[in-house]
Structure 1
Amino acid sequence: MSEEFISMAYPFAINQGQGQLAQERDYDAHVKQLILQVLFTAPGERINRPEFGCGVKRLVFSPGGEVAATLAQTTIFQALDRWLNNVIKVKEVTVQAVEASLEIRIGYMVIARGTNQYLNLTVAG
């Protein structure tokens, strides 16, 4: 992408030095922020779009380690494919239940650039 890119940063914040909304100028970082928004927004949390989100935090408390990991894997893949299909192509989602947390690895292609990226995160209960 050769054009300049500016987006509101996530999580929402005010730049204290400038008194303005915090901005994101890196497109790849912006895409990761979009993924995090989908993952950490619980369905029903947004008034105007109640079906938006994945609610990955609630999946941490699902019983049955391997079953919870498989449920999380499917839920994450479907949510990202539904809400970000014009931004990314999800290649893989792997989830492991480790004690009271989920270790998540998401492989995706940024459509605008054609580059493959990975996002690794641990979600604790």
Structure 2
Amino acid sequence: MNIAFPLHFDSHGRTATTDDDTHIREMIEQLLFTNPGERVNRPDFGSGLLQMVFSPNSPEMAAAVQFSLRGALQRWLGDLIELQDLQVTSQESTLTIGVQYARRQTGETRIVQITRAV
């Protein structure tokens, strides 16, 4: 049983839960869009992605963002997923992140695409 994010209650008044695939997707989103220092008991949790978005656009910056995100995903979710591919694109005010991974528990491959206006 996995607690849904964001925390809310279901129709029976209990804490809402999600399936494993949805839970992993939610954890990926939390990691990507949390800045280091935002979590009280885990000050190094997060990717710092939102801070990098406002840097000048260049191939070097894109490589740095992908390297940073890859490290964060492997560090914080490496026990649940095996990262296979990571793509980051930024066009004007829209950030798109594509994550392809295999669930360690089942070996199933999943692709998550997250798009956010920044």
The two structures have a TM-score, normalised by structure 2, of 0.90
- Aligned CA RMSD, in angstroms, stands at 1.5
1:9 — aligned with what?
4
Matched-pair contact (CA < 8 Å) for 1:70–1:95: no
Between the aligned partners of 1:53 and 1:112, the Cα distance in structure 2 is: 23
1:117 — aligned with what?
110
SS, match of residue 41 in structure 2? coil
2:54 — aligned with what?
61
Between the aligned partners of 1:108 and 1:13, the Cα distance in structure 2 is: 27
SS, match of residue 65 in structure 2? helix
CA distance 1:124–1:69, change in 2 (3 Å): farther
CA distance 1:98–1:122, change in 2 (3 Å): same
Shift of 1:52: 0.5
Q: Which moved further from structure 2: 56-65 or 96-105? A: 56-65
Shift of 1:87: 0.2
Shift of 1:65: 4.6
Matched-pair contact (CA < 8 Å) for 1:8–1:22: yes
Alignment of 1:1-125 (within 5 A): 6-15=1-10, 17-24=11-18, 26-125=19-118
Q: Which runs of 5+ in 1 are unaligned?
A: 1-5
Q: Which runs of 5+ in 2 are unaligned?
A: none
* Greater RCO, 1 or 2 (C-alpha within 8 Å, sep 6+): 1
SS, match of residue 79 in structure 2? coil
Letter in 2 for 1:63: P
Taking every aligned residue pair, what percent have the same amino acid on both sides?
Answer: 36
SS, match of residue 25 in structure 2? helix
Shift of 1:48: 0.6
SS, match of residue 44 in structure 1? coil
Shift of 1:35: 1.0
